[in-house]
Amino acid sequence: MLGAVDPTTTPHWAALSRHARELDAVHLRELFARDPGRAERLTRAVGDLVVDLSKQKVTDEVLAALVGLAGDTGVADRLAALFAGERINVTENRPVLHVALRAPAGTRILVDGHDVVADVHATLERCFDFARRVRAGEWTGATGRPVRTVVNIGIGGSDLGPVMAYEALAAYRHPRLRCRFVSNVDGTDLVRALEGLDPAETLFIVSSKTFTTVETMTNARSARAWLVGALGPDAVASHMVAVSTNREAVEAFGIDPDNMFGFWEWVGGRYSMDSAIGLSTMIAVGPENFRRLLEGFRTVDEHVRDTPPADNVAFLTGLVAVWNRSLLGLPTRVILPYSRALHRFPAYLQQLDMESNGKRVRLDGSPVTYPTGPVVWGEPGTNGQHSFHQLLHQGTTVVPADFIVFAEPDHGPDDLPDADEHHDLLVANALAQAEALAFGRTADEVAAAGVAPELVPHRTFPGDRPSTLIMAPRLTPGVLGQLVALYEHQVFVQGAVWGIDSFDQWGVELGKALATVIGPELAAGAPIGAHDSSTRAAVERYRRWRGRAAPDTAAT
């Protein structure tokens, strides 16, 4: 079985454990001081992305051992199996083929003897045709008026990718069209999304692979009721479309199956933003910009597939993430995009990483004996500097950071006369934060600056806190695709080293199953099942507060 090797049993893991102990006493200051060429040697490029690993707590020997560990654990073989369409999602017996979503036309990837790339391009062309009609005002609603607002209803990968891309590519949006996104089953989410909208100019995209996701379908039914209440039942045909694999359920819901855009079981939700799930993105930025997004993904896919591990940016960044989590024992990772447009990128990566690699058993079902997926979080700079950066610099927990920086702003002088001043300040802050985290400020340096002795401990920064700097010329559709694909492949590399299945998500199922049990119990007079005492008390309290308790218990 691919991934069957326990990484802790390999010679390279032993070497890495030794390096970790040795480097514990070596500060990043020292690593830079004794190696003037460190920054140049530890910087790599892929597409438009320049990735600087020199502020990570690694040496040439560490990187060589990490590459060796990748060899020991069969990462390259598992990657080849992914690109070949083999069923590497072992618990669901499925291929993992998000790379097929951006493969060029004419590429052949076979699943059970069927060329899936041809299917991908046929679906993309249908999506592009629909997007063009909406953008041109040719797709009209029940009253003959064009669409002005697209409301995407989904959750998880059917929401996080589209909303992230919509925000990230704000500079490329159609001037007439706006998108809103509904994911939470909390009715407030839908109420706010519909606020101020004209039903006659609103198009709903219901995005659910199975078309049974409880949160999505609850919101979709309420949206349909809102629409029908204003325009009548015939309006559904021209105001609601679906992205799903379940034609029967789409038709039963009342959406014309001719207005359904499909995707496939071999696409995980968190890897699906470049499929028909991205229909709202296609409408917002247009088919040509979406093609550029796909080209960006493809640039990294080809780099990862064809580049030896020692120069492979996704391999190296993924291996460094393994080093930080499993060898250095660092439990979290912060994503710091110095770009307001990427304000939803940390949330997107939370799902990508934590749903993929938050696993406690290996591919063969045996328990892991080493830390796997870190807690991923973040916030755009410079907001985070006035929030949690205090902990990053002087807290007791070391948090590896990814800084993402663009040379050009998303806007120009017509939008903001002093745009250069703003952007220079933004970039200066990003570079300063990375420098401060790495090198800190010693007590002697603080005292030499004239700080009162009693304040010196408070003004001292330990430094020695690792970070990666990712830079690109500008946040374009292509660069966004490169950035997302880089993190996708990082996640893959980590999971392959750890020997876990990065492509299932059974951890989301138990709570969902219990919710279907508890939901009916919230009704007045319903029997309450065999729950723990805390859950039972909470159900009873909820019913009491909603006026659903039996008369003899209503006052208790």
Burial of 57: CB neighbours in 10 Å, binned 0-12, 13-18, 19+? buried
Tokens in use for 54? 């020199």
Active site (annotated) includes residue 98: no
Active site (annotated) includes residue 386: yes
C-alpha–C-alpha distance, residues 248 and 455, integer Å: 69
C-alpha–C-alpha distance, residues 54 and 43, integer Å: 7
As a dihedral over the C-alpha atoms of residue 283, residue 289, residue 292, residue 297, rounded to 10 degrees, the angle is: -40
C-alpha–C-alpha distance, residues 339 and 479, integer Å: 13
Active site (annotated) includes residue 411: no
C-alpha–C-alpha distance, residues 118 and 209, integer Å: 20
Handedness of CA 346, 350, 356, 359 (dihedral sign): positive
Considering only CA atoms, give the Rg of the chain. Answer: 26
C-alpha–C-alpha distance, residues 268 and 502, integer Å: 10
Which residue in 114, 422, 458, 512 is the catalytic one?
Answer: 512
Which residue in 215, 355, 379, 488 is the catalytic one?
Answer: 355
CA 48 to chain centre: 20
C-alpha–C-alpha distance, residues 478 and 296, integer Å: 4
C-alpha–C-alpha distance, residues 427 and 407, integer Å: 8
Tokens in use for 71? 């060899």
CA atoms within 13 A on the CB side of 457: 2
Specify which residues 241 forms β-bridges with: 205
* Residue 266: how many other CB atoms lie within 10 Å: 21
Any idea which residues carry the catalytic annotation? 355, 386, 512
